[in-house]
């Protein structure tokens, strides 16, 4: 995701992209697009307990991403810019093989007879 962004900023940016993708799935066949306000996005991150930051800290992260032109705050809603989208797509391409592996392992029928078991 480039040297210009810290890991925390990368994570917030990636989280925003994934959230926007999720809420827009239902509008896939329609000329509509859903968005999220800053406060709702911050509450989501806090409710998921995936980021250990205060509400103010998350606001600051979003402000930094906005100053660096990775996101826009348009009509009181967050949007990824082309620059932001490009960065998160690079990250997505980087981590998708790992996610796919986890999903495939979860689906796979792994027989314990093939694996060697032992007492801990």
Q: Specify whether domain 7-107 bears CATH 1.10.10.10.
A: yes
- The whole-model pTM stands at 0.77
Residue 111 pLDDT:
66
Beta bridge partners of 80: 71
In angstroms, the CA 51 to CA 3 distance is: 21
Please tell me the predicted confidence (pLDDT) of residue 3: 44
Domain regions of the chain by residue span: 7-107
The span from the CA of 108 to the CA of 87, in Å, is 32
Query: To which residue do tokens 């996101």 refer?
Result: 71
Tens-binned pLDDT, residue by residue, of the chain (120 aa):
444 788 889 999 999 999 999 988 888 888 888 889 999 999 999 999 888 888 899 999 999 999 999 999 888 899 999 999 999 999 999 999 999 999 999 888 766 666 666 677
Check residue 120 and give its pLDDT: 79
DSSP SS3 for 7? helix
pLDDT at position 116 is 67
């Amino acid at each position: 995701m480039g040297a210009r962004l810290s890991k925390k900023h990368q994570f917030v940016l990636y989280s925003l992209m994934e959230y926007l993708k999720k809420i827009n799935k239902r509008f896939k066949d329609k000329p509509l697009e859903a968005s999220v306000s800053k406060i709702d996005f911050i509450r989501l991150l806090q409710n998921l307990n995936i980021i250990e930051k205060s509400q103010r800290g998350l606001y600051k992260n979003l402000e930094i991403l906005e100053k660096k032109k990775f996101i826009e705050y348009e009509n009181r809603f967050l949007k990824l810019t082309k620059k932001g989208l490009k960065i998160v797509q690079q990250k997505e391409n980087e981590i998708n093989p790992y996610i796919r592996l986890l999903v495939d392992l979860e689906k796979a029928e792994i027989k314990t007879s093939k694996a060697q078991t032992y007492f801990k």
